[in-house]
Amino acid sequence: MRTVTLKDGVKVPVFGLGTWRMGERTSARAAEVAALKLGLELGVRLIDTAEMYGEGVAEEIVGEAMGGLRDSIYLVSKVYPHNASRKGTLAACERSLKRLKTDRLDLYLLHWRGSHPLAETVEGFEALQKAGKIVSWGVSNFDVDDLDALGGVPDGGNCASNQVLYHLGSRGIEWRLLAKCQAARIMVMAYSPLGQGALLRKPALGKIAAKHACEPAAVALAWVLRQKGVITIPKATQPEHVRANIKALDVKLDQDDLAALDSAFPPPRRARPLDMT
């Protein structure tokens, strides 16, 4: 498994398991736990979740799936913006740790920018770090202006990661945000890297997938992972999807592949608001 090295020297696997939309239906819980366990059995060692997902149930699912493997897993969760005051961040983290059945998070993110001052949230993150409750902290859904604001508060430069929407059909971060994160050594976590499903039916993806003897999803994920300092966290609840996604690690896209994908999914030609869905 390739890794990305954070500012503090910690190495993070480039491929993880996402849990957005997990925990929303009781009837799906067993399949969701099984999918995460399968990913871990196949060697994935990063799981991303949030207190928002299923209002905490996704974290419970992750805690169940990890079992005795916690020490080998890079675990990420996120705090709701409305909980992200200094005191609220501390309390929210404790609740997440309890649901996840662990004593620490490897990375704790502000899910998106809300009404609480960034300085308060950072104070909470720094306190959690000093207490050993989290190893690193970061943000999610932050655009260039948001990162500039974060850099202006005390200890804001300690931000380790920015989790944003990034896939072939949503390339807006390539205009300025991606380069800014790379220059500041802020790891980019690409969520929803497969889009909403329709993307995978595009002929260009199918043709390249046939060339590499894999599913279109593996091509789409390999395309995201071509970028320096970028990791990705696709969600899958079906065993065949878990296996298909992991094959992205073996796909090496050549210049012809990348040119064909640029033609089918053009890069941005101007600045645009950060996509979140």
Q: Point out the catalytic residue in the list 53, 108, 166, 191.
A: 53
Task: Give the three-state DSSP class for 22.
Answer: coil
**Distance between CA 24 and CA 127 in Å, rounded?**
31
Q: Tens digits of per-residue pLDDT, 93-124? A: 999 999 999 999 999 999 999 999 999 999 99
What's the whole-number mean pLDDT along residues 76-85? 98
Residue 15 lies in a domain: yes
Residue 226 lies in a domain: yes
**Residue 72 pLDDT grade (very low, low, confident, very high; cuts 50, 70, 90):** very high
- Number of domains present in the structure of the chain: 1
Residue 198 lies in a domain: yes
Residue 152 lies in a domain: yes
**Residue 197 pLDDT grade (very low, low, confident, very high; cuts 50, 70, 90):** confident
**Distance between CA 269 and CA 102 in Å, rounded?**
45
Q: What is the largest CA-CA distance in the chain?
A: 53
Residue 276 lies in a domain: no
Q: What stretch of H or E contains 78?
A: strand 74-79
For 167, phi and psi rounded to 5 degrees?
Answer: -155, 175
CA neighbours closer than 13 Å in the CB half-sphere of residue 154: 7
Task: Give the three-state DSSP class for 133.
Answer: coil
Q: Tens digits of per-residue pLDDT, 149-190? A: 999 999 999 999 999 999 999 999 999 999 999 999 999 999
Q: What is the mean pLDDT of the chain?
A: 97
Q: Tens digits of per-residue pLDDT, 205-248? A: 999 999 999 999 999 999 999 999 999 999 999 999 999 999 99
What's the whole-number mean pLDDT along residues 199-206? 95
Residue 7 lies in a domain: yes
CATH number of the domain enclosing 254: 3.20.20.100
**Residue by residue, what is the 3-state secondary structure of 138-175?**
EEECCCHHHHHHHHCCCCHHHCCEEEEECECCECHHHC
What's the burial of 192, exposed, middle or buried (CB within 10 Å: 0-12/13-18/19+)? buried
Domain of 111 in residue numbering reads as 3-264
CA neighbours closer than 13 Å in the CB half-sphere of residue 108: 30
User: What is the DSSP secondary structure assignment for residue 19, as one 8-state letter?
Assistant: -
Residue 169 lies in a domain: yes
**Distance between CA 109 and CA 76 in Å, rounded?**
8
53 flagged as catalytic: yes
Q: For residue 20, which of 100, 65, 77 has the smallest C-alpha distance?
A: 77
Tokens of residue 61, six digits = 């699912």
Q: 171-185: b or e for each residue (b if 16 or more CB lie within 10 Å)?
A: bbbeeebbebbeeee
Residue 121 lies in a domain: yes
